[in-house]
């Protein structure tokens, strides 16, 4: 198994000057690359996203995500399993660190959330003819949760976690519709493609994104940045998923309160429909 840092050092002579800037940035602080988006690495190295991709391919890698995964594999540390957890921690210590990380992420999001953007998003959702929620991987769960809530408000909506369904549904939207794209990294190609198509169709695009410098931001009319440091590249997303769910709850409650009488009537009908489903 080739050491990634050794591979980079051995490839320096074959790299262009711009690619060498990326290489030096990675070699200087490989740990930060593991938790950085491609946009952040491009900015730190004074280059561009295409240059970072070319650099990865010069190393024989499929892309930036493979670089991050390889670095996480190679660096002699267990902190990349989850935050600052080590293999010597007790069960109580693990529980405390995980739950504190969740609490800190939600607290940071509350402090840094742009209320003007949030208000604009709520108004767009309230007046939408139709709402589509897009998410992949861990974010797909959040998209389904959003659909599970918002359909109760009487707004036609759907959640799609299949890339083909996303682009097909996006192409059929109009200026009366809203798409909510959910992505922690904000750099997943399929999600970006879906946002592009939805925007081209005239729909308003709201992004729930974990990075303030994500490529997806370019294709969002409204961006709600959630502040969580998802270091667990090898595990399913945890902290980021919880913060995304919290933002969905805020949007749902805020939209519901815009028409409190109608909301009460609809939620009462939903509750009554479930009476025979329970003992």
Contact 157, 206 (CB under 8 A): no
pLDDT of residue 146: 97
**What percent of the chain has a predicted confidence (pLDDT) above 70?**
91
| Separation of alpha carbons 259 and 248, rounded Å | 18
Tell me the pLDDT band of 162, cut-offs 50, 70 and 90: very high
pLDDT tens sequence across 25-75: 999 988 888 878 888 899 999 999 999 999 999 999 988 988 988 887 787
- Full strand arrangement of the beta sheet holding 177-183: 157-160, 130-135, 177-183, 204-209, 222-225
Provide mean pLDDT across the span 16-24. 94
Is the pLDDT assigned to residue 77 strictly greater than 80?
Answer: no
Residue 19 domain boundaries: 4-74
Same domain for 129 and 250, yes or no, is yes
Q: What is the CATH number of the domain that holds 60?
A: 1.10.10.10
The rounded Cα 25 to chain-centroid distance in angstroms is: 24
What's the Cα-to-Cα distance from 136 to each of 26, 160, 236, 263, rounded to whole Å?
28, 8, 12, 29
What's the Cα-to-Cα distance from 231 to each of 36, 89, 107, 210, rounded to whole Å?
9, 18, 18, 12
* List of E strands, the chain: 130-135, 157-160, 177-183, 204-209, 222-225
Domain count, the chain: 2
Provide mean pLDDT across the span 84-100. 81
Residue 272 lies in a domain: yes
Average pLDDT, the chain: 87
Stronger pLDDT, 213 or 113, i.e. the higher one: 113
DSSP 8-state secondary structure symbol assigned to residue 134: E
**Last residue of a domain, which of 27, 51, 74?**
74
Is the pLDDT assigned to residue 191 strictly greater than 50?
Answer: yes
């Amino acid at each position: 198994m080739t050491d990634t840092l050794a591979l980079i050092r051995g490839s320096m002579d074959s790299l262009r000057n711009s690619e060498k800037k990326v290489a030096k940035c990675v070699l200087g602080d490989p740990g930060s690359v593991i938790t950085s988006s491609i946009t952040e690495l491009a900015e730190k190295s004074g280059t561009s996203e295409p240059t970072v991709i070319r650099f990865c391919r010069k190393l024989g890698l499929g892309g930036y995500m493979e670089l991050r995964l390889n670095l996480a594999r190679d660096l002699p540390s267990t902190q990349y399993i989850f935050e600052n957890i080590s293999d010597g921690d007790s069960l109580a210590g693990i529980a405390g660190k995980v739950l504190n990380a969740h609490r800190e992420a939600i607290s940071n999001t509350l402090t840094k959330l742009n209320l003007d953007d949030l208000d604009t998003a709520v108004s767009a959702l309230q007046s939408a003819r139709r709402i589509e929620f897009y998410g992949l991987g861990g974010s797909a769960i959040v998209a389904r949760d959003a659909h599970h809530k918002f359909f109760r408000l009487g707004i036609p909506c759907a959640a799609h976690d299949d890339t083909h369904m996303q682009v097909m549904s996006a192409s059929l939207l109009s200026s009366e519709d809203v798409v909510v794209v959910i992505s922690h990294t904000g750099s997943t190609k399929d999600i970006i493609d879906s946002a592009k198509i939805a925007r081209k169709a005239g729909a308003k695009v709201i992004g729930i994104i974990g990075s303030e410098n994500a490529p997806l931001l370019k294709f969002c009319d409204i961006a709600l940045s959630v502040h969580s440091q998802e270091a667990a590249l090898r595990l399913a997303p945890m902290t980021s998923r919880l913060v995304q769910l919290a933002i969905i709850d805020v949007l749902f409650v805020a939209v519901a309160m815009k028409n409190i009488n109608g909301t009460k009537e609809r939620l009462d009908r939903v509750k009554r429909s479930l009476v025979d489903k329970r003992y």
